[in-house]
Chains A and B, each alone.
Chain A
């Protein structure tokens, strides 16, 4: 058992590792509910914290694409940001991707 966890995966046991990564992922996906369901009602500050989750998490998922790239990607993100005031997600995605693909094709 200890041997298994302290050694690298092998083609023989990789199925088990894949299954365990699935279990770990499921624990994260249900854990927040399991913890909160122990409380009858939520304090307003907890409510406020939970309201902030989408904004607080999504911005962190976007950042590396901005920090790791050059000005072409920043322009694409700014255009997408402005466009998302008016357009739905699909058009924002098409517009942003057009800028990235065209820009890279022209060597920017």
Chain B
């Protein structure tokens, strides 16, 4: 699947970094791999490591993971419009694999030619074994990557997400939504802090889209579902 190629790089780097970080934060090899297997969401896995290591109460760990992952709630709401033809089983298995890249790829595919279970599981499902193997590799090899910032690892996902963001630029009110979400998110990031800038910033743009949304979109959407 050529659509998968760019994210493979990012997944490989981050999985290895997570594997090495897991062992540095007091997890065993199998506990580190189990995190990737059970959660399959990079950012919240790093947050979990950090909080576990800081000896924070379990309920705070779980609430923080929920806050970091709240954007997925919006993903499953949005993608639900494109997976009506999936079986019950395909939907509920599919949600487990609904990562950031899987959501973006699914939405873009749905726009162009409709989203089939084969495409969704081919894309989203193939990232899972890779994420597990690179986590294991990173945990096994340890601190092979001594200076992740010199390799620009902190910028890797942001640049990738930027290219995903630009892929949606033909959508109605895209620029307005992005600007409003961006400004609100930046203010929240400065004054309240992470991870609230994600949820609050995103909600600002989404609410705006609902307010300024024109019924013209509706005709286009109902054709798609016919």
Contacts and interface: CB of A to CB of B under 8 A. Distances in A.
Given A28-B70, A89-B163, A54 B168 contact: yes
A33 to B, nearest CB: 4
A65 B76 contact: no
B74 interface: yes
B160 A89 contact: yes
Interface of B: 5-7, 9-10, 26-28, 31, 34-35, 37-41, 44-45, 48, 52, 55-59, 61-62, 65-66, 69-81, 91-92, 95-96, 98, 100, 103-104, 107, 149-152, 154-168, 171-174, 177-178, 181-182, 185-186, 189-190, 194, 197-198, 201-215, 217-218, 221
Contacts of B167: 84, 89
B6 A52 contact: no
Contact of B34 (A9, A18, A33): A18
A76 B79 CA distance: 31
Task: Tell me whether chain A's interface is mostly helix, strand or loop, or mixed.
Answer: helix
Given A58-B161, A80-B163, A31 B76 contact: yes
Nearest to B59: A5
Contacts of B78: 32, 50-51, 53-54
Most chain A beta carbons < 10 A, residue from B41, B70, B211: B41
A69 B41 CA distance: 24
Interface in A39-87: 42, 44-67, 69, 73, 76-77, 80-81, 84-85
Q: Top 4 nearest A-B pairs by Cβ distance?
A: A48-B213, A32-B77, A22-B38, A56-B205
17 contacts: A21-B61, A29-B73, A32-B72, A47-B217, A49-B206, A52-B205, A54-B164, A55-B174, A55-B178, A57-B74, A63-B182, A63-B185, A64-B189, A69-B155, A80-B159, A80-B163, A81-B166
B5 A51 contact: no
A90 to B, nearest CB: 4
Contacts of B204: 56
Contacts of B71: 28, 57, 60-61
Given A6-B57, A35-B77, A58-B161, A44 B217 contact: yes
A39 to B, nearest CB: 10
Given A60-B182, A92-B159, 8 more contacts: A9-B58, A48-B209, A50-B77, A53-B202, A56-B181, A59-B185, A60-B198, A93-B156
Nearest to B160: A93
B95 A58 contact: no
A52 B160 contact: no
Nearest to A101: B152
Contact of B81 (A30, A50, A92): A50
Nearest to B66: A24
Given A6-B59, A25-B69, A97 B217 contact: no
B6 A56 contact: no
Contacts of A36: 77, 80
A29 B65 CA distance: 12
Given A55-B165, A61-B161, A14 B27 contact: yes
